[in-house]
């Protein structure tokens, strides 16, 4: 691996780390933000709708922007929006303004939805260049960021540090990480040069590729499981299991730690047992964890079950992205499509759970997530693209 590629890979680790820190920083403070806004579960669902709205804008624009301008400017703009959004969310909490918090989440969603698709396309390119399994570890950095942000959030909650001071400090740290990492990302990755097939309108429609659609369904299930925990787990433990805000944040940190361990340790199991077995085992683990969190009335058991939830959701997203890139020609478009599906589920799906939670309660609302995760058990063979991609022996 040459020096430029090594620096690019290290920069991508930071680009994955930063959104994790940002996300968990405000997620761990959602009970405090909810109290500052004096919002019900349904009203918090409306506030989080800003996240969905921004996410859809970012996700729908990202693929075209990457094809036209490349990953670097899209990554840069998206990450800058994440940094700015933290300051806006903090300001909204300080003045008890639900519209301002909603606007901050909208900016966060647009940055995350747009930038993260580009980051995954760039990461898939590095994986192709180096020939190494890289995406699980890179997504592990996102989870590591959520652990770091959650630990800081727990400390801030326990110390009763105002939300705006906490998020202001995170904004400064995130800005410094972004400016350092951005220098090592090359221009031109992901740019699609129109060919004769595009001009004639005969470019293959990826939605007709059954295997790719099934891979997308796996990503949808696992990203929804991760996103539901990121948006709702502290409140789920506080409102659904009677824990205090600090303990709720601690349970979320355990989830993030399980995700981190699963992603950094996943390479060994992928090499030994293959993608299908690993994704299937992950889906079973996630389903067991969700079952216990939903149906157990023992708060300690429910908190421990979160570890199964986190381990189960850890590898579905990165493994499916690698499989998408190997599933056929036009790797950038395939990775972009599957990443888009994942971020729709990750960012847009969880706010909808808030509306269900307002009518049923948060614990019953998680049944929706359980159904999707359980379905991944049967869809797992779709990620076994390496055997399919191998060249056939000559006659």
pLDDT at 305: 95
* 194 inside domain: no
DSSP string, 89-121: HHHHHHTT-HHHHHHHHHHHHHHHHHHHHHHHH
- What token pair was written down for 395? 């006659």
Q: Which domain holds residue 312?
A: 3-189+205-389
CA distance linking residue 223 with residue 242, whole number of Å:
26
pLDDT at 192: 66
What are the tens digits of pLDDT across the range 281-290?
A: 999 999 999 9
**Closest to 179 measured CA to CA, from 100, 83, 103:** 83
CATH number at residue 128: 1.20.1250.20
Q: Cβ distance 93 to 33 under 8 Å?
A: yes
CA distance linking residue 59 with residue 107, whole number of Å:
12
* 9 inside domain: yes
pLDDT at 30: 84
pLDDT at 194: 54
What are the tens digits of pLDDT across the range 217-251?
A: 999 999 899 888 877 888 889 888 888 878 888 89
pLDDT at 292: 95
Q: In order along the chain (395 residues), what is the average pLDDT of each group of 10 residues?
A: 85 92 87 86 78 82 84 93 94 91 93 85 83 80 86 87 93 94 87 53 65 91 88 85 85 88 86 90 95 92 94 89 78 78 77 77 90 94 66 42
Number of folded domains that form the chain: 1
* 124 inside domain: yes
CA distance linking residue 276 with residue 10, whole number of Å:
29
Task: Name, in order, each residue with C-beta under 8 angstroms of 35's C-beta and a sequence gap of 6 or more.
Answer: none
CA distance linking residue 77 with residue 381, whole number of Å:
36
């Amino acid at each position: 691996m040459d020096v430029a590629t090594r620096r690019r890979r290290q920069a991508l680790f930071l680009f994955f780390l930063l959104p994790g820190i940002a996300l968990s920083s405000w997620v761990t403070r959602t009970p405090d933000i909810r109290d500052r806004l004096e919002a019900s579960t349904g009203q918090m669902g409306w506030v989080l709708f800003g996240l969905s709205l921004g996410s859809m804008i970012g996700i729908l624009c990202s693929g075209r922007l990457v094809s036209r301008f490349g990953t670097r400017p899209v990554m840069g703009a998206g990450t800058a929006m994440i940094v700015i959004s933290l300051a806006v969310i903090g300001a909204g909490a300080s003045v008890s303004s639900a519209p301002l918090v909603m606007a901050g989440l909208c900016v966060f969603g647009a940055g995350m939805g747009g930038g993260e698709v580009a980051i995954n396309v760039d990461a898939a390119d590095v994986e192709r260049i180096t020939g190494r399994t890289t995406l699980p570890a890179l997504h592990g950095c996102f989870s590591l960021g959520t652990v770091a942000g959650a630990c800081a959030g727990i400390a801030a909650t326990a110390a009763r540090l105002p939300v705006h001071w906490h998020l202001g400090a995170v904004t400064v740290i995130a800005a410094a990480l972004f400016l350092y990492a951005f220098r090592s990302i090359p221009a031109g990755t992901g740019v699609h040069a129109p060919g004769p097939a595009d001009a004639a309108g005969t470019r293959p429609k990826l939605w007709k590729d059954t295997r790719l659609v099934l891979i997308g369904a796996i990503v949808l299930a696992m990203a929804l499981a991760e996103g539901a925990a990121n948006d709702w787990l502290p409140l789920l433990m506080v409102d659904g299991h009677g824990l205090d805000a600090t303990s709720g944040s601690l349970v979320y940190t355990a989830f993030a730690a399980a995700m981190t361990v699963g992603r950094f340790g996943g390479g060994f199991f992928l090499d030994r047992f293959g993608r299908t077995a690993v994704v299937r085992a992950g889906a079973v683990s996630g389903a067991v964890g969700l079952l216990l969190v939903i149906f157990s009335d023992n708060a300690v058991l429910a908190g421990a079950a979160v570890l199964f939830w986190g381990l189960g959701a850890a590898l579905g997203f990165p493994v499916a992205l690698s499989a998408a890139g190997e599933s056929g020609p036009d790797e950038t478009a395939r990775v972009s499509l599957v990443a888009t599906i994942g971020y729709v589920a990750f960012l847009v799906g969880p706010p909808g759970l808030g509306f269900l939670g307002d009518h049923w309660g948060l614990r019953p609302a998680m049944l929706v997530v359980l159904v999707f995760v359980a379905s991944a058990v049967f869809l797992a063979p779709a990620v076994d693209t390496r055997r399919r991609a191998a060249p056939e022996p000559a006659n």
